[in-house]
Chains A and B, each alone.
Chain A
Amino acid sequence: MLKTFKLGGVHPAENKLTVDKSISVLPIPKIASIPFSQHLGAPAKVLVNRGDEVKVGQLIAKGEAFISANIHSSVSGKVQKIDNVVDTSGFRRPAVVIAVEGDEWAEGIDRSETINKEISLSQKEIIQKINEMGVVGLGGATFPSHVKLMVPEGKKAEVLIINGVECEPYLTSDHRLMLEKGEEMLVGVQILKIALGVNKAMIGIENNKPDAIKHLSELASQFEGIEVYGLKVKYPQGAEKQLIKALINREVPSGKLPIEVGAVVNNAGTAYAVYQAIQKNKPLIERVVTITGKSVKDPGNFMVRIGTPISELIEAAGGLPEDTGKVIGGGPMMGKALNSLEVPVVKGTSGILIMPDEEAGREEVLHCIRCGKCTHVCPMGLEPYLLEKVVMAEDWERTEKEKVMDCIECGSCHYTCPANRPLLDYIRLGKNKMGQIMRNRAKK
């Protein structure tokens, strides 16, 4: 029996079109816009001015708050302006716009391909360095990694879980990374283990990637304390809480962090970024992005500099198809629909999905027929139909009681609803309102 989580889950069509496309390097863009807020938490504080010359890897914005992250220039050139640009959030937000000149790297960055397995830094130094290099969780939530690695007092990390699940349909960036950079990734896992002070790491990979499971299992035998597990294909297995449940059969209590059950989850891509940061001294300035879609001419996986406009990425994949209806940053289940093609690639962009118009539209919304499918598929054991109802009625007390804040926004309910009800839309609205109410309460 393959491991998996117990409650709910759906199985959307996988559509992993780019599974055989190896990672190629996307040319450096002419203009890169690097937003200050590419991570969860406070935006970083800008350090450069208009007209400044910057090099690749140079720190251009510093994360000063506790939950924040440093931002480095991914290109070399001149700062054209510091202005608002539309980013993946759909809003105009401050960013550094750099006119690219050449490709000049800052000193001290090792760009060679040789794999360095010797880890010379101590626990504290590692966390410090990860902070400096601006590494954030690359799975999508972009939580600053150094914060995640600092185990709060009174808690003890027992196991490090590496998320190689990639349960989102279409996306293959982690899959390709595990295949092509597996060894570097495992060194990254070793570094993360030291940072956490644990001696066991588990890598969870869904069973639809047998090549990655095989490859990593072979490599893992060279390292101590790393185990690779194949998991049954079920969405949303890549969600933190579900993955912990699947691998070590522990449930993170409502409103708590995974450390509560002794686990820390990091994405496979993050492990690779950690390797680059620690062993190669290379900040997080590029990442693997899958560009895919059914009518995209030449879908693929690309190593992309942060700040590259997605229009260049689309160009590299053969241009925007005629029938495009929606452009999504991320996967189809949790990604964000973008409202502009000039949006820059940020640290959290794991893929760009271009959907044809006939698939992109939402169908007519009917009355709830109380089929209960949403309740059956909710991985958190919530009742989405009820949450929708109470949010519509603005009954916030009931909304809180029905644990709206537990929702992980995986979208399974909305996906499965035969009446096409926008369940997650209303649940998100409810979460938002509840957040406000709870903040107000905390103030008092």
Chain B
Amino acid sequence: MGSRTPLYDHHLAAGARMVDFGGWDMPLHYGSQIEEHHQVRRDVGMFDVSHMAVVDVAGADAKAWLQYLLANDVARLSETGKALYTAMLNDNGGILDDLIVYRTDDGYRLVLNAGTRDKDLAWMRQQVGESAVTITERTELAMLAVQGPRARELCASVVSDSRAALISILKPFEGQPEGTWFLARTGYTGEDGLEIMLPADEAPDLWQALNEAGCKPCGLGARDTLRLEAGLNLYGADIDEQTSPLAANMGWTIAWEPADRDFIGRQALEAQRQAGDQPRQVGLVLNERAVLRAHQTVIVDGVGAGEITSGSFSPTLGCSIALARVPAATGNTAKVEIRGKQLEVRVIRPGFVRNGKQIFE
């Protein structure tokens, strides 16, 4: 039996098909993953993401230590509430995890992937050394992601006035505490929305209230197709310890300046950048009646081969899409072999749908 979130019984009651995800029993879907996907793109849906790890970092050296630990630079968080997306690298420049860091009044709040939680925490504790830093895992918190064009409006309608007021002023990629809650305008779907961290024992009431207000529960299946359409990486599929952020469309998350900031993996990344030998992450679009899937080979005539890291059917576009790692010299088309047939695919920048609309030509 896997770990259970505070909403486990609610998932069962709603008819969820449960699956193991990183050691957690989580809902895959509640009937139709495609309907849940459309629900988020067109209206509003909610995900239980309590399996993710919320970790607070505080202490006199918190800032300097995170500047060393993470490839992006927390010095960019100019004020409380701001957030950034970053990789945590090993010495070889491989991605240990991808995470969001919020600046808080007392320090920083990190949200880590569920499957990497133990590894991440062990790594972080190993890096503390003489630094004056405390690392506190907030296992008493649950987390709900409410996503979709109507997400903020619906959330505001079921919470206290002060929380509703905060929701109305939160900017994209900003997170602020409100009492024992923490409300952030972040997500993993390519839609507007909120991620709400709150005491585990209050999560079922919020879930219930949102549900009664018309917010449908959505499972990991829809979460996966939504993030794929948005061109967002999934740890363990698109990125892992063997992957450089330069090969995963995460170059923008590496803060090269200031040049004298030493961070773990910097040397390795600089050597890679110098050599210019990294493959590149692209998006693929297939206009045939087949589905691109992880580990299928991408054939680039005259250049070489690559691999799909995640692929699926795109409910919004009605065709199959994928993220793939291909040779840097790949042009605008490639082929993917599916069931013995080589099918032509379009090669685009990673990212297919945002805010309900197709974002490539």
Q: Do A and B bind each other?
A: no
Chain B positions near chain A (C-beta within 8 angstroms): none
